[in-house]
Amino acid sequence: MKPIVGVMPLWDEYKDSIWMLPGYFDGISQAGGIPLMFPFSDDEQELDQLMGLCDGILLTGGHDVSPELYGETPMEGLVVTCPKRDSMESAVLRKAVERDMPVLGICRGLQFINVFFGGSLYQDIPTQLPSETEHHQAAPYDRPSHEVTVVEGSPLHRCLGRDSLYVNSCHHQGIKELAPGLETMAFAPDGLAEAVCMPGKRFLWAVQWHPEFSYRTDENSRAVFRDFVDSML
């Protein structure tokens, strides 16, 4: 039996529609899991039932996390949120933590996990943390954009067996204050946290980069998906 991974849907506000990037599904599949996209729901009973079918949860990329959730006012014109996703993912993450289900966060997923556990975000990195590091690269998105340093002794260091790697980067927000309980596993040249985990959990990891774009060409991206799916076996 292959592990089933519940995947959070992406939101298209123009079409008022949910959608999925194939890379999230393919990344899970090539690692030996079965991806299952959730409907847009914050109904507690429906989510309980759905999560009963799943062995792990993938928090995908997408809209900005609502700054209200970390006690800030949105910077005008720079922040685009999806409150419906915030409320759904709050319920899903709470249930996943209660059940100690493996969770992987990607991009917004990393930011959401940090906010959920009480951390805060840069609402707009170019405005609030300007540097030479290119966090918002142009297409193609599987191209390495900046280096990250991997923290020695971290689970990511054990997974990849290396002190640094190049990652793609397509985000304009990032972790400002790290939430209590989370630890940084990798950071960018400007100091921004690029991978975090929660020690003591079965598997609660998040990366700021996009393995769903790079897994085809990048062994390090495949290794992250593989460790995630293997944690469910």
CB of 145 to Mn ion, least distance (A): 7
User: Where does this chain touch Mn ion (CB under 5 A) — which range of 12-20, 30-38, 135-143, 177-185?
Assistant: 135-143
Distances from the Cα of 19 to the Cα of 13, 108, 112, 154, 157, angstroms: 11, 16, 19, 33, 33
Q: For residue 68, indicate whether it is catalytic.
A: no
Residue 169 as a binder of Mn ion (CB under 5 A): the answer is yes
CB of 174 to Mn ion, least distance (A): 7
Distance CA 93, CA 107 (A): 15
CB of 164 to Mn ion, least distance (A): 14
Q: For residue 152, indicate whether it is catalytic.
A: no
Tokens for 157, please give them. 């260091």
Distance CA 11, CA 21 (A): 11
Distance CA 213, CA 225 (A): 12
Residue 111 as a binder of Mn ion (CB under 5 A): the answer is no
Distance CA 232, CA 100 (A): 11
Tokens for 193, please give them. 């946290």
Cis status of the peptide bond prior to 130, with omega within 30 of 0:
no
User: Where does this chain touch Mn ion (CB under 5 A) — which range of 1-9, 35-43, 106-114, 165-173?
Assistant: 165-173
Residue 85 as a binder of Mn ion (CB under 5 A): the answer is no
**Site size with Mn ion, rule: CB under 5 A:** 2
Of residues 144 through 163, those in contact with Mn ion by CB under 5 A are: none
CB of 125 to Mn ion, least distance (A): 8
- Chain residues in the site for Mn ion (CB under 5 A): 135, 169
Catalytic residue numbers? 107, 210, 212
